[in-house]
Chains A and B, each alone.
Chain A
Amino acid sequence: MTALEVRDLHKAFGGLRVATAVNLAVAPGERRLIIGQNGAGKTTLFNLITGELSIDSGSVSLFGTDITGSPARRRAHLGLARTYQIITLFPGETLLRNVTLSLLGLSPLRWNPIVRLDRQRHLLDKARAALASVGLEHLADRPVGQTSYGERRRVEIAMALAQSPKVLLLDEPFAGLSIEERRDVLALIADIPRAVTIVMIEHDMDVALEFAERITVLHFGQVVVEGTRSEVVEHPRTKEIYLGG
């Protein structure tokens, strides 16, 4: 069974085709890298998989369950989590509250208007543990606005991991980070257990290649090359796209 399967996916914004006959099959536990130039449709593909954008035709399934018609919020409950290339946190809230909101999203408690959120020990302990897993537990009570860019990237990952997803989509987790920060985040991602299937978009080839087992190259909304690390790196089309032929 595949963890994530995209079949014959099409999407166009007016005349601009951002996904054309995209097929993607990711095995459980796999580490998949998606590369491609700016505008190749990588982030759009993520948005189509999570349901934040509606698809024109094709299908998306998660562990054999067709989720093509499911709203984005339902997909989160089915075990799909993502991070954003442009950091999307709750800026006025503390790191702990950010991660708590992530946990709350999957809990029936989110509809409760009576109990106090800051008294939900169970939830808060889990949130602290998620922050600890990215090495930020000492900043739990600090507002996001007072943290560094690299720390925010890690909060993004902590929020996704807190939901114990089955499939995790990482959208350029190294974007805008210094070399040391990249190492830290890479180590963090490498430590994610194999129970989590990971699909990652990344531009930084050095870091990304270290991580990936299979690589998919997107070009103008189409999959042009797919294969193991060495297959893709050696492929003439990859060189053509990345080095301009």
Chain B
Amino acid sequence: MKRVVLLIALIVLATLPLWIGNSYYVNIATQMLIYAILALGLNVLVGYAGLVTLGHAGLFGIAAYAGAVLINDGHGHLVVAAGALLVTLAATAIFAVLALRGTGLGFVMITVALGQIVWGIAYRWISLTNGDNGISINARPRPFGFSLVDAPEFYWACFVVFLVTVAAMTIFVASPFGAALRGARDQPRRMTALGYNVWLTRFLAFLFSGFWSGVAGLLYLYYNQFVSPQTVALSASAEALLMVIAGGTATLLGPIAGAALVIVMKDVASAYIERWNFVLGAIFVLIVVFMPEGLVPGCVRLWRKAVAARRPRTAARALEREVGQ
């Protein structure tokens, strides 16, 4: 059942540009994929490490800015991608060393401060970032000779990266390191007594999270062919966090659903409703009230409840099995 649904979703996503028709909608789908990658990366910290951060747009933006600067210096796209990701990893390491001095609120506040520093640099270091005007680039890469200029081709490129991200997350979550990270979230003291290096576990998870945020940031740069301080603003970090929490933290599908929801509200609903921010807020409140665990786990729960209500006998038997073990 689950596999069939996933397979259908995969086919729908893979063929999307063929049946959706309008390149405007293809571009919105592309944005969903890019933000889904960011949200999946953020989820490593927020969901699996239990470390809520409000500075991830900073890392996302650093990749975009680094890429833009390298492109405009005339480097090839392979150098640009590698360089941007290395710069992002270095920045992530600095973020992690500083932020991991605290947990909980202390951690959040440090990440806010770091994100704001990135924003300040983007806004004020005009010789590097061109300040408020931002940086434009004039080309998308041509991997293996494929042109990514048109919306469908760029969509498919993002889709491939998205699939790689999902695969990486699936492997990560089921791995011993993933289990250790969740253990450090739930019982850090016990994990230390069991022989784990909790700090290093969190640090490496932060790097992993920052890497995927950087990948998303680079795609974002290629998509918009433009980056400005808006990209690294605090509201962008909050939006990314909203995607993860609304969709369902510590799940694989949650951040993807959350990213899709926020992008739909931002880009589609805003065309019809002037105060789309209000609607997004209202939806978020509804999610928190009725599905505090997030959209994806919440829907799964309601679905199971509905099925159980329709087939009480099967449910009773299932319950018997569970209790009788």
Contact = CB atoms under 8 A, between A and B. Distances in A.
Contact of B196 (A105, A142, A159): A105
A109 interface: yes
Interface in A37-89: 50, 52, 71-74, 76-77, 81-82, 84, 88-89
A116 B175 contact: yes
Contact of B180 (A50, A89, A104, A116): A104
Contacts of B190: 84, 88-90
A32 to B, nearest CB: 19
Contacts of B177: 110-113
Contacts of A84: 190
A101 interface: yes
A97 B195 contact: no
B175 A76 contact: no
A23 interface: no
B107 interface: no
B179 A117 contact: yes
A20 interface: no
A110 B179 CA distance: 8
B298 interface: no
A106 interface: yes
Interface residues of B, number: 26
Contact of A104 (B179, B187, B197, B198): B179
A72 B193 contact: yes
B145 interface: no
A113 B187 contact: no
Contacts, number: 89
Contacts of A107: 176
Contacts of B194: 73, 76, 101-102, 105-106, 159, 163
Contacts of A105: 191, 194-196
Contact of B175 (A81, A102, A115): A115
Give the bracket for the number of chain A residues in contact with chain B: 35 or more
Contacts of A16: none
B186 interface: yes
A123 to B, nearest CB: 8
Contact of A90 (B171, B186, B204): B186
A114 B192 contact: no
B183 interface: yes
B193 A97 contact: no
B325 interface: yes
B152 interface: no
Contacts of B171: 113-114, 116
A145 interface: no
A228 interface: no
B176 A120 contact: yes
A112 B175 contact: yes
B192 A91 contact: no
A118 to B, nearest CB: 7
B172 interface: yes
Given A73-B195, A76-B194, A77-B195, A88 B174 contact: no
Interface string A109-140: 11111111110100000000000000000000
A176 interface: no
Interface string A146-171: 00000000000001000100000000
B124 interface: no
A117 B195 contact: no
Interface in B192-220: 192-198, 204, 208
Contact of B178 (A72, A113, A159): A113
Nearest to B180: A110
Contact of B193 (A76, A113, A116, A120): A76
A92 interface: yes
Given A73-B195, A120-B176, 6 more contacts: A73-B193, A74-B195, A82-B193, A91-B186, A101-B180, A113-B177
16 contacts: A73-B192, A73-B193, A73-B198, A76-B195, A88-B187, A97-B179, A104-B176, A106-B194, A113-B175, A113-B177, A114-B171, A116-B171, A116-B174, A120-B176, A163-B194, A163-B195
Cβ-closest 10 pairs across A and B: A105-B194, A76-B195, A105-B195, A113-B177, A88-B190, A113-B175, A117-B176, A116-B174, A72-B192, A109-B176
